[in-house]
Structure 1
Amino acid sequence: MRPARPADVEAIAELRAVVMRPDLERLGRYDEHRVRQRLRDGFCAQHTSVITTAGDFAGSVALRPSETGHWLEHFYLAPALQGRGLGSAVLGTLLSRTDTSGHLVRLNVLQGSPARHLYERHGFTVERQDAIDVFMLRLPGAGPGASANRTTVG
């Protein structure tokens, strides 16, 4: 992982549109412009990392501080790289940092998204949900993110 730069916003916005399209279409919420603009509007390079493999852009993840801990946001991996353990390694690395600092982590995932299983494996539990989103919470030290035997990246 490397720190994001302001110039990364368009590559991340495009990846977001590709990755989220199936779930947003299933939920009847896909809008070609809005899916990209929401990323642009909320992008903060200071809290975002670009995920690379062999020097190539592979995805992004943001860990934004909040009053009660952190929000995990904009976690996208190129579809060809999903299901190979990269997302789990990235998540494990971030969660080891929040565990060390004693911070809880929140996120939201779309209803029915396969990404929810990744988050559950790393100790996230459902805090609340609505027709579109599942809001999840992870206390410090929960799940495999607290294990010293996991793969790390970065």
Structure 2
Amino acid sequence: MPLTRNTEPDITLVTVQPEDFETLVAIRIEAMRESLERVGRFDPVRARERFREGFSASSTHYIQIAGSKVGFVVVKPTSDGLLLDHLYIKPAVQGQGIGAAVLRQVFAQADATASTVRVGALKESDSNRFYVRHGFQLVESGEFDNYYLRPPRFEGAPMASINVRIDDDLKTRAYLELERLGATPSELLRQTLQYVAERGQLPSMMTDEDEALLATVRERLASPQRVKVSLHDL
């Protein structure tokens, strides 16, 4: 059922059955194909095998609109919250707010217990921008995938949780700045941003004497509200 741009998608999540595996694989391959072909990694056999390895029917839900299956989502419990293991929307209905509607349900589940939500995304996939736009923060960048975390959301958060959120926010900003650099104006700047993207803090050898580089890093990463709270104390 096509949605107009201003229509709020009314989605229903329906638990799948073990015998739905082949249908799910077909949706996964259809949704991933363009991104994987772009990086020369499209392999439907491998996609099927990898999905089979972690398949859990009880953690998997069809995304339905007016009874029509438009994708599926897999959410699994972890030691510190939830893992958004898969989220696939059929290409024909992408860009209509369906993914955002699914995230709202996942976030509501996580927020009920003040839990984190983790997710991974292929580096070249448009899903990276989607997750950052919805509050996920980069915590690790692997060879092929980026890994994100949405910190717990609850009132009266202890300072430790606030600090984690600040550090993860710095990682995300540093990663995005690395993508924007293009031609390298300074290898030291690139190395510093890479360090921050991976660890959420400046290298220990950085001192206030490195005024030029520090000023550049602060300018690229810091909002006025966070300079005093975070970068000033690094």
The alignment's TM-score, normalised by the length of structure 2, stands at 0.58
SS in 1 for 2:125: coil
Q: Deviations over 1:57-79 (max 9, x none)?
A: 11110110111211101210111
Identical-pair percentage: 37
Alpha-carbon distance in structure 2 between the residues aligned to 1:102 and 1:41: 29
Alpha-carbon distance in structure 2 between the residues aligned to 1:118 and 1:18: 19
Structure 1 or 2: more helix by fraction: 2
Q: Deviations over 1:85-133 (max 9, x none)?
A: 1110111111111011111011100012111222112210100112310
Runs of 4+ residues deviating >4 angstroms:
none
Alpha-carbon distance in structure 2 between the residues aligned to 1:48 and 1:82: 19
Alpha-carbon contact 1:127-1:137 (below 8 Å) kept? yes
Alignment of structure 1 residues 118-129 onto 2, 5 Å: 118-129=130-141
Alpha-carbon contact 2:115-2:153 (below 8 Å) kept? no
Aligned to 2:26: 14
In structure 1, which of residues 134, 143, 151 is the aligned counterpart of residue 146 of structure 2? 134
For residue 92 of structure 1, what is the amino acid of its counterpart?
R
SS in 1 for 2:26: helix
In structure 2, which of residues 118, 123, 128 is the aligned counterpart of residue 106 of structure 1? 118
In structure 2, which of residues 56, 60, 77 is the aligned counterpart of residue 65 of structure 1? 77
Deviation of residue 33 (structure 1)?
0.6
Alpha-carbon distance in structure 2 between the residues aligned to 1:70 and 1:97: 9
Could you say what the CA RMSD is over the residues aligned between the two structures, in angstroms? 1.4
Aligned to 1:151: none
Alpha-carbon distance in structure 1 between the residues aligned to 2:42 and 2:61: 25
SS in 1 for 2:112: helix
For residue 68 of structure 1, what is the amino acid of its counterpart?
D
Structure 1 or 2: more strand by fraction: 1
- Any unmatched runs of 5+ in structure 2? 1-12, 155-234
SS in 1 for 2:140: strand
What is the count of residue pairs matched by the alignment? 142
Alpha-carbon distance in structure 2 between the residues aligned to 1:24 and 1:39: 15
Alignment of structure 1 residues 9-48 onto 2, 5 Å: 9-48=21-60
Alpha-carbon contact 1:111-1:133 (below 8 Å) kept? yes
- Any unmatched runs of 5+ in structure 1? 143-154
For residue 67 of structure 1, what is the amino acid of its counterpart?
S
1:81 equivalenced with 2:93 (yes/no) = yes
